[in-house]
Amino acid sequence: MARSYSIAVIPGDGTGPEVVAEGIKVLKAVAAVEGISLDFTTYDFGGDRYLRTGEVLPDSAADELKKYHAIYLGAIGHPDVKPGILEKGILLRLRFELDQYINLRPVKLYPNVETPLKDKGPEHIDYVVVRENSGGVYTGSGGITMKGTPHEVAVQEMIYSRFQVERCLRYAFEYTRKRNRRKTLALVGKTNVLTYVFDLWERVFHEIGDREYPDIKREYYHVDATCMWMVKNPEWFDVLVTENMFGDIITDLGAITQGGMGIAAGGNINPGGVSMFEPIGGSAPKYTGMNIINPLAAIASAQMMMETLGEDKAASRMEQGIVKVLQRDLKSLAAGRMGLSTTQVGDKVAEYAAS
């Protein structure tokens, strides 16, 4: 019997719909050859809908989305909407309500892609960041008192429960084992300053590492030093695990070392529920409708979606498609300078992935 999956699609704002269309094109092409049946349902959440209706996200959205096997998201962010409203009201709300407590962000340099790192190539840049995706300062705990006076005080707290820390670390250990490369998991923290939060992270890291993952080598790096090594010695890394905000910051650095937002993919994962896959880059509104934006990050996110659904063969076909188009066709990853249009890139990847 054919494996079949129903996918919720949120194309979102700006160039989101254009890149998502190419991801779906490639998914359909590999599904056909792998005997997978895919069913797509589109939701119009995003800036335009908000400006039209005044509603950011219907309260029923998360429950509705739980019915799908996965969610495929383009981009959220609209130039006419104040920053924060859509990001918090759609993206972060869905991450929280669907309890997608892992943000998985591979940093992999493909052949023929230019990196700003001197003397580094694909053999040096291939690691994965496991970003905790449900806690930390993103919890939204805090406030401002005496606002508007010279005495005003703003507080935003970094909050972690043992439960959150433990489930994230366990995922990271399992992932490192399954990845089966150097079997090295590095905790990225700030034990010298955040002496409460990273005391907890560090203790749990070694506790469960000792007890349950003796085959996985453990390392620790301060987050500031990590930024240095990501530039100078990225080949040291296999899997990195860190808290939410640190993960947010270091994965933008990671993304630029792998060729930038045109290629960087991410997955918001709930290992026991429904996960949501999205390119790391934003909605790039100035390129909307021009058919010049690079769809590879969105295609790579769709590849992660297939991998997470257990469709490894379909996923590796998609990766092959990406690698081939980079080797044979693309002049650059930058919008407008690829030498091909958005839709042509999708056509080529679909063709290579299916052959």
Stretch 314-333 residues interacting with Mn ion (CB under 5 A): none
* 8 A C-beta contact, residue 350 and residue 138: no
Residue nearest to Mn ion (CB): 248
| Binding of residue 91 to ligand IPM (CB under 6 A) | yes
> DSSP assignment of 6-46, as one string?
EEEEEEESTTHHHHHHHHHHHHHHHHHHHTEEEEEEE---S
In terms of C-beta density within 10 A (0-12 exposed, 13-18 middle, 19 or more buried), how is residue 181 classed? exposed
Q: Which of 21, 92, 194, 354 binds ligand IPM (CB under 6 A)?
A: 92
92 binds, among ligand IPM, Mn ion, none (CB under 5 to 8 A by kind): ligand IPM
CB of 331 to ligand IPM, least distance (A): 28
Q: Which of 101, 138, 171, 213 is catalytic?
A: 138
| Binding of residue 335 to ligand IPM (CB under 6 A) | no
| Binding of residue 132 to Mn ion (CB under 5 A) | no
Catalytic status, residue 44:
no
Task: Using DSSP bridges, classify how beta strands 217-222 and 184-189 pair: parallel, antiparallel or unpaired.
Answer: parallel
CB of 69 to ligand IPM, least distance (A): 22
**CA 237/CA 250 separation, integer angstroms:** 13
Closer CB to ligand IPM, 89 or 271, in the complex: 89
Closer CB to ligand IPM, 92 or 253, in the complex: 92
Give me 49's structure tokens.
């809908």
Closer CB to ligand IPM, 81 or 91, in the complex: 91
**CA 301/CA 129 separation, integer angstroms:** 15
**CA 265/CA 315 separation, integer angstroms:** 13
- The alpha carbon dihedral of 173, 125, 320, 25 has a sign of positive
* 8 A C-beta contact, residue 37 and residue 312: no
How many of the chain's residues bind ligand IPM (CB under 6 A)? Answer: 4
The side-by-side arrangement of strands in the sheet containing 126-132 is: 36-42, 3-12, 70-75, 275-279, 265-269, 102-108, 126-132, 239-242, 184-189, 217-222
Catalytic status, residue 248:
yes
91 binds, among ligand IPM, Mn ion, none (CB under 5 to 8 A by kind): ligand IPM
Catalytic status, residue 347:
no
Catalytic status, residue 13:
no
| Binding of residue 351 to ligand IPM (CB under 6 A) | no
Q: Which of 238, 248, 278, 319 binds Mn ion (CB under 5 A)?
A: 248
Stretch of 16-24, 33-41, 86-94, 218-226 contacting ligand IPM, by CB under 6 A = 86-94
Closer CB to Mn ion, 132 or 248, in the complex: 248
Stretch 230-259 residues interacting with ligand IPM (CB under 6 A): 248
**CA 207/CA 230 separation, integer angstroms:** 27
323, amino acid identity: V
Q: Which of 13, 43, 68, 248 is catalytic?
A: 248
Q: Which residues are catalytic?
A: 138, 190, 224, 248, 252
- Residues forming contacts to Mn ion in the complex (CB under 5 A) are 248
- Residues forming contacts to ligand IPM in the complex (CB under 6 A) are 87, 91-92, 248
